[in-house]
Structure 1
Amino acid sequence: MSTAAIAALIVRYGIVMLFLPFSALDKIFSFDHAVRQAQQMFSPRPLAITMLMIGLSIEIVCSGAIVLGIADRAAAFVVAGYCALTAILYKQFWKPGDFFADPEGKGRTLFWDFLKNLSLGAGFLLLIIGTDGSGLQPFLDAPFASSHPYGR
């Protein structure tokens, strides 16, 4: 494996390691807590469990696809959307009402977490468009194709 391929592997793992293994394992080992957290947005327990399982699947399957380079652009697109949705659903900085009143309030903390989620999502979008100037066209032409991050 070339130095460039090793660097690509490290960077790809670095961008997904929040999800795989950490967040995925947290959902598995603290399942009841994760369900209660999901119930904040999806109140019937069966719906919360369903949404939690969808999130867990995204974290495992899409993160693995990104690291392995298998349908990695499509996986990155899904994870970018997941980051945006979790920001909107769980990092609602506007709700506590203390954003402007208290620099140490819950609103400010949620705001920074909201921005972190969106920034991480933007990083996944970068995997889709690449840094080689090819832009969005390869993804639009073949969304489930591999970007061949480790060579062909």
Structure 2
Amino acid sequence: MATFSILVAFTVRLLLILLFLPFSALDKILNFRGAVGQASEAVSSRPAATALILTGLFVEIVMSLGILTGIADRAAAFVLAGYCGVTALLWKQFWKPGDFWAGSDSRARGLFWDFLKNFALAGGFLLVTFGTGAATVDAFLSDPFASSHPYRLADQPVRP
């Protein structure tokens, strides 16, 4: 049963980060020029757009690995929650096209669902960050870079 518990914990975390690692990160790497072009829509300078994409790559790879391995996983999840919110606000601006009520296949409606998806993912990452109850918030606030020890079984001691 212990192996099953660890497998479930790993699978849940893998499902949370799967969008970022490998898919979004790999897409940014393989289509770097296109990604910079898309980022140029949010910022006016090409160097700033390149910096945004490189920052995004760092966040998607390093923070995803933190969540998956349990190393500073709560801090990593907090960063990814913020990343989801920022990318929703910068690139999923459903209010801009002006065709939200035009029909079910409008550009604004597609962006709206992507916007909500980003915030739903942020909620999942915040569950990793803070836990599932009010009593667990203090653990993050008192030591945000500590591991939550996601693969530890209840009867195993916590190593510092």
What is the TM-score of this pair, normalised by structure 2? 0.91
Give secondary structure in 2 for the equivalent of 1:150. coil
Q: Distance in 1 between matches of 2:28 and 2:102?
A: 34
Show the counterpart of 2:95: 94
Name the aligned partner's letter for residue 104 of structure 1. D
Which stretch of structure 1 is more off in the superposition, 31-40 or 128-137?
128-137
Unpaired runs of at least 5, structure 1: none
Which stretch of structure 1 is more off in the superposition, 28-37 or 93-102?
93-102
Q: Distance in 2 between matches of 1:54 and 1:42?
A: 14
Show the counterpart of 1:113: 114
Give secondary structure in 1 for the equivalent of 2:135. coil
Show the counterpart of 2:10: 9
Residues 118-129 of structure 1: pairs in structure 2 closer than 5 A: 118-129=119-130
Give the superposition deviation at 1:100.
2.0
Residues 1-152 of structure 1: pairs in structure 2 closer than 5 A: 2-131=3-132, 134-151=135-152, 152=158
Q: Distance in 2 between matches of 1:148 and 1:64?
A: 14
Q: Alignment length, in residue pairs?
A: 152
What is the TM-score of this pair, normalised by structure 1? 0.96
Give the superposition deviation at 1:132.
5.9
Unpaired runs of at least 5, structure 2: 153-157
Larger Rg: 2
Give secondary structure in 2 for the equivalent of 1:65. helix
1:79-124 deviation per Cα after TM superposition (whole angstroms, max 9, x unaligned): 0000000000000000011112333211111101100010011100
Give secondary structure in 2 for the equivalent of 1:135. helix
Q: Distance in 2 between matches of 1:124 and 1:98?
A: 31
Provide the identity percentage: 55
